[in-house]
Amino acid sequence: MFEKDYTPEQLQQLQARREALGEDAIRQIEAEWPRLIARVREEMEKGTDPTREPVLALAARWRELLTAFTGGDPGIQRAVSAMHQQEPAVAAEHGLDPKLFEYVGKAMACLEGPPSSR
Total number of domains in the chain: 1
Give this prediction's pTM.
0.85
117 lies in some domain = no
Residue 51 lies in a domain: yes
Q: Would you say 40 and 99 are in contact if contact means Cβ atoms under 8 Å apart?
A: no
Query: In angstroms, how far is CA 76 from the centroid of its own chain?
Result: 11
- For residues 40 and 95, is the Cβ–Cβ distance under 8 A? no
Whether residue 77 is contained in a domain is answered as yes
Tallying the residues shown for the chain, one arrives at 118
Range of the domain at 99: 2-112
Residue 12 lies in a domain: yes
Question: Considering the domain boundaries, does residue 26 fall inside one?
Answer: yes
Q: pLDDT means per 10 residues in the chain (118 residues)?
A: 80 93 94 97 98 98 93 91 86 92 95 59
